[in-house]
Structure 1
């Protein structure tokens, strides 16, 4: 059986490679329009939220040059979502840990999910299109045409050996987010103490929403490898946590389903 053709376009935005994927027979003009719209809106989000651009709304607010009411409407929307995420995670995630509003840990997932739902999901209604999705540095929002014989198979790699796959997650419609220290070091701050979170090499979370999955992947890293007490608050998620010492813990919809001890 011939596999359907995959159309891919890649751009460097928000400090990472972002790729748009459409599977099946899509009109070239429709694919080009959807791809351009995704990338244009992500560049706009980067301009508003970037912690590296002096003219971003976020840095202008941090310097006291711009009030939230005068910033892009996206800022208030993201601030409200971050407040809910902080409450839901019991403070394991927050955008205010440094004393100023910094949604860096939330906004990429939010922005990528937003453009995917606006511009890629509608393509699955087009004749000949089997599936569509977006990959932002390993964080994915994926869609499949109802009734199509297609499943996205998302590999979870061993953070200690990037050539080894420790799990494959089948997704038809949903999101996958991964956080941890394996690739970027201890870059996630534990807001409870202000120090870098350590102990979790990688935490991969699946959910219907990338913004939701991203929040809980961050929460998993902050909570550490010995605390899965938060999974009952995470809603309909599944996940795989790999500790620095090699232990693997898995959960499904608030219940831990497997613990694999570190190899001797």
Structure 2
């Protein structure tokens, strides 16, 4: 992100195995009263969600469900909420997303965006009543809020994974979410649930939506769909985005319409 203008206040902690930073833009030298408590509660909620959903902790609800020690109905109530969301996402994406592709319940591809968005809306969004803007950055995925009538927007740079320090595009967002997925940084970790094989035809996909749960879901879905399948754009409910192929082709869209496909530079 790039910042200019109002005073900036930042908190950073390691949560859910990644750096999470919370940014407040204030009209004063200090953020509004209650900001420190709200930030602390947001981090605490994210840690509690990780306790329930982590696939790396053997005592988490999700791990116990996988082991057959616990049912979804008997788990933390948030598990049933996420499970229902995942079932709907499977239908909405026509099978490009599935929380059951391994043969057991694993909502990893959905729960991060859902968790960050919900914690941010509960604890951080109210801060804009007194401050100008507040945002959360969870491993590069953003949920952003700006006060009504404020002359402010967040400028978000989309990194070009082919060249360190290079920016593929910039986006101005007042209220909304930005999520990025792909194979550039973590390798072939995104699996096509239809085949059980890694999705490899998208290097990076960045999606902007109202909701981080939505942006995160469709960023991952676009990687699974592949660069040449853009049929999902029309019904995804996203605002805009940029998808980059390994050979340098780019496609961008606005709303339900594919705006531009740029061939690889020669």
**TM-score, L = length of structure 1:** 0.96
Worse-matched range after superposition: 112-121 or 23-32: 23-32
In the other structure, the counterpart of 2:99 is 95
The answer to whether the 8 A contact 1:200-1:243 is kept is: yes
Secondary structure of the corresponding residue to residue 24 of structure 2: strand
| Residue 216 of structure 1 pairs with residue 209 of structure 2 | no
Aligned-residue CA RMSD (Å): 1.1
CA shift for structure 1 position 237: 2.6
The answer to whether the 8 A contact 1:95-1:101 is kept is: yes
In the other structure, the counterpart of 1:198 is 200
CA shift for structure 1 position 236: 3.6
Worse-matched range after superposition: 252-261 or 75-84: 252-261
Which digits, 9 at most, give the CA deviation of each residue in 1:74-106, with x for residues without a partner? 100000111111111101111111110100011
Structure 2 matches for 1:112-261, cutoff 5 A?
A: 112-126=116-130, 129-261=131-263
CA shift for structure 1 position 199: 1.3
CA shift for structure 1 position 31: 1.7
CA shift for structure 1 position 168: 0.7
Secondary structure of the corresponding residue to residue 69 of structure 1: coil
In the other structure, the counterpart of 2:54 is 50
Of residues 39, 44, 54 in structure 2, which corresponds to 1:35? 39
| 5+ long unaligned stretches in structure 1 | none
Of residues 103, 107, 114 in structure 2, which corresponds to 1:110? 114
**Segments ≥4 residues shifted beyond 6 Å:** none
**TM-score, L = length of structure 2:** 0.96
How many positions carry a matched residue from both structures?
261
Secondary structure of the corresponding residue to residue 259 of structure 2: strand
Separation in 1 of the partners of 2:252 and 2:202?
13
Secondary structure of the corresponding residue to residue 184 of structure 2: coil
Separation in 2 of the partners of 1:6 and 1:248?
34
CA shift for structure 1 position 29: 5.1
Secondary structure of the corresponding residue to residue 132 of structure 2: strand
CA shift for structure 1 position 162: 2.7
In the other structure, the counterpart of 1:12 is 14
CA shift for structure 1 position 17: 0.5
Secondary structure of the corresponding residue to residue 212 of structure 1: helix
In the other structure, the counterpart of 1:82 is 86
Separation in 1 of the partners of 2:152 and 2:22?
17
Secondary structure of the corresponding residue to residue 256 of structure 1: strand
| 5+ long unaligned stretches in structure 2 | none
The answer to whether the 8 A contact 1:153-1:170 is kept is: yes
Separation in 2 of the partners of 1:34 and 1:21?
12
The answer to whether the 8 A contact 1:89-1:233 is kept is: no
